[in-house]
Amino acid sequence: MDKVLFGDNQFFAVNHLSDEKSREQARRFKDAQSIMYVLDQAIDLGINTFMCTTHDRIAEITEIMRNNSGRYSRFNIFPCMPYAHKYANAVTELGPLGAMKQYLPGNIFSFAAKGGLALLNKDFSKFMEMLIDAELKMFRGINTPVIFIQNVLTDMILGLGANEVFAEYHAYIKKKYNAEPGYITMNMPKLLDVLESVGIENPVICSSINKVGFRMSGGRELYEEYLRNRTFRPVAMQVLAAGALRPKEAIDYLGQFPKIESVLFGASSKSHIRETKELIEAALS
Amino acid sequence: MIKTAVIGLGKMGLSHAAIVGAHPEAKLSAVCDTLSLMLSGVKQYNPSVSAYDDFNKMMEQETLDAVFVATPTKLHYRMVKAAIEKGIHVFCEKPFSLTLEQGRELVDLAAQHKVVNQVGYHNHFIGTFREMKRLLAKGIIGTPFHFTGEAYGPVVVRSKSGSWRSQAAEGGGCLFDYASHVLNLIQEVIGRPVSVKGTLLKKFYSREVEDAVFSSLILKNGLSGTLSVNWSDETYRKMSTSLMILGEKGKIICDATELKIYLKEENASEGLSKGWSIKYITDLALPVNFYLRGEEYSAQVDYFIENVKNRTPGNINTFEQALYTDSVIEMLIKDGKE
């Protein structure tokens, strides 16, 4: 994995510090072109990995990349699935079955032909595989060496104690996509324990890691202990604690944990991207 | 360990089940839903949780300390009642009841059986709204002049709909789903509305229910303000709820991420300077042991479990408070029809 992973929150009006700022971002990044413009700036600065949610608009970005394969042939995307609001809104609007009809691959008839609901009732993992395939369709022809589950889903599986789902996900991503499975979580210590318990070794785990303990459930001390003593491949996110910390002190903090392989961050201006990238590369060297 | 069941595995039920499952002092003993896909998932992956498709059967077979009722609103009454009568503590999703008679009966029943009772108005577990309530109680903006309560989001943005939320008779519609949150916030943070005027219940895409609610609310202390709620606004990525209150000494604007305070004069005891001060959720968030979709969802479950464990009644989001919100909803429906 690259040390620097460029994130997508700024493109999709996700701002943990300010709802107002997030709406400003929505106005700025109103189409794929405006996103591509910033992404190209990041690429020109030497960033080679884009870590992004399976938001509908990403399909437009990957389309642009496929059509300009010369420029983007070595560029990596780390997909993070699913984009949960898409499903949550669909479930509220259409009910659970309606939402399934809308988002499962093909139409409901081909779904039924593959065994449909009756099959799913017997074999839940088939259902998971169909959803994964549906989510990842937009990345065909793109390098996706690491594929993440979003934190809402990771942490829901974790809370429900459905631990074997992780093992099945892990195996499926390796087999079908020849990629490294990754896990985004807000509960890193608990997740690592569970992943190890189902036989997953040295997993890629992306979690909040910051000096103030923001969104580090279980507490900062426990996180630090895991970062020092346990075997996994940590990716740090929310390193600025949603903006509560200044970049220099925030990223310097990461330097004490040599195990951290990558840092995920998002920015919208070239100068911010350059500054943060340089700080990360210095801290993780 | 508090033996707990979750009834209804929709968005909120799944969320509660996961948070309970991760809770150090609670055990997720059983779940109940009519969708077999959900139950087969539970059976396949976590056999330590009993999965039921029949509520009555679950109540007969399980010995429970607490239940989470996260079914469509029309089912709340029957399920909550059955639980209370067995002495089981109840967390019920919002809105609380479909009719005030049923809601009142449940409030009385919960008091009679001395069970912990809580409703899922999770905004009260967001640090910014809590801080706003505290600052208002201290009177930092002086005599209040006016307030607004707003919520916008992208739930129904097309003319097609198929869930119970599109049926008024089942507790669907923007008023029950979205506006209830704002009304409950206004009620607990600013004051209880006693009458409403000029209510507009507007349909944009839905046929059966309203997509937006606009009204003037008059509170118990005489203060009046504006309610503006719309669940058909796709310029918002997700539900966004805010309160504003203006007074003789300043103004407070609050949402889930920021608390913005404007004061005409410095308030030294609160450490607030003249002009604007901003407090962020990063400093105000309630610490939780397990995070799922926001600290507030875990914090409200923690609060409930804590009260069950200690046999303390709790004073945040009681059935009585939720019933009051239901009564304001009824005022709005009546006024909107006139």
What pLDDT, on the 0 to 100 scale, is given for residue A200?
98
Prediction ipTM score? 0.89
Spell out which residues of chain A touch residue B290, defining contact as CB-CB under 8 Å: 155, 159, 187, 190, 217
Asked whether residue B159 falls in the same domain as residue B117, the answer is: no
What pLDDT, on the 0 to 100 scale, is given for residue A118?
54
Spell out which residues of chain A touch residue B255, defining contact as CB-CB under 8 Å: 19-20
Place of tokens 């209370």: B84
Please give the tally of structural domains in chain B: 2
Percent of chain A with pLDDT over 70: 85
Spell out which residues of chain B touch residue A214, defining contact as CB-CB under 8 Å: 282, 285
Chain A to chain B Cβ contacts (< 8 Å): 146
What pLDDT, on the 0 to 100 scale, is given for residue A268?
86
3 state SS for B271-297: CECCEEEEEEHHHHCCCCCCCCCCHHH
User: Nearest by CB to B156, which of A15, A19, A93?
Assistant: A93
Q: Which CATH number does the domain A4-84+144-283 belong to among 3.30.365.10, 1.10.10.10, 3.40.190.10, 3.20.20.100?
A: 3.20.20.100
Decide the pairing of beta strands B250-255 and B240-247.
Answer: antiparallel
Q: What are phi and psi of B214, to 5 degrees?
A: -130, 135
pLDDT at A89 over 60: yes
**How does pLDDT run across B216-249, given as a tens digit for each residue?**
999 999 999 999 999 999 888 889 999 999 999 9
pLDDT at A104 over 70: no
Q: Which of residues 162-181 of B touch A (CB under 8 A)?
A: 162-166, 177
Q: Is B157 exposed, middle or buried (0-12, 13-18, 19+ CB in 10 A)?
A: middle
Asked whether residue B109 falls in the same domain as residue B166, the answer is: no
Asked whether residue B215 falls in the same domain as residue B73, the answer is: no
Q: In sequence order, which ranges of A161-269 are alpha helices (DSSP H)?
A: 164-177, 188-197, 220-229, 247-254
Asked whether residue B77 falls in the same domain as residue B103, the answer is: yes
Q: How far is B166 from chain A (nearest CA, A)?
A: 8
| CB contact at 8 A, A3 and A261 | yes
pLDDT at A33 over 80: yes
User: Nearest by CB to B257, which of A17, A187, A217?
Assistant: A17
CB crowding B209-228: b at 16 or more within 10 Å, else e: bbbbbbbebebeeebbbebb
Low-confidence spans in chain B with pLDDT less than 70: 160-171
Asked whether residue B62 falls in the same domain as residue B90, the answer is: yes
pLDDT at A168 over 70: yes
Asked whether residue B239 falls in the same domain as residue B280, the answer is: yes
In whole angstroms, give the CA distance from residue B304 to residue A39: 45
CATH number, domain of B108, equals 3.40.50.720
Q: How far is A211 from chain B (nearest CA, A)?
A: 12
pLDDT at A177 over 90: yes
What pLDDT, on the 0 to 100 scale, is given for residue A109?
47
pLDDT band of residue A103 (cuts 50, 70, 90) is low
Average pLDDT over every residue of A163-170: 95
Task: Count the neighbouring beta carbons within 10 Å of the beta carbon of residue A214.
Answer: 21
**How does pLDDT run across A106-117, given as a tens digit for each residue?**
544 455 545 555
**How does pLDDT run across A63-73, given as a tens digit for each residue?**
999 999 889 99
Domain that holds residue B77: 2-122+293-316
pLDDT band of residue A93 (cuts 50, 70, 90) is low
Task: Identify the three-state secondary structure at position B304.
Answer: helix
**Is residue B285 within 8 angstroms of chain A, CB to CB?**
yes
How confident is the prediction for chain A on average, in pLDDT? Answer: 87
Asked whether residue B89 falls in the same domain as residue B213, the answer is: no
CATH number, domain of B195, equals 3.30.360.10
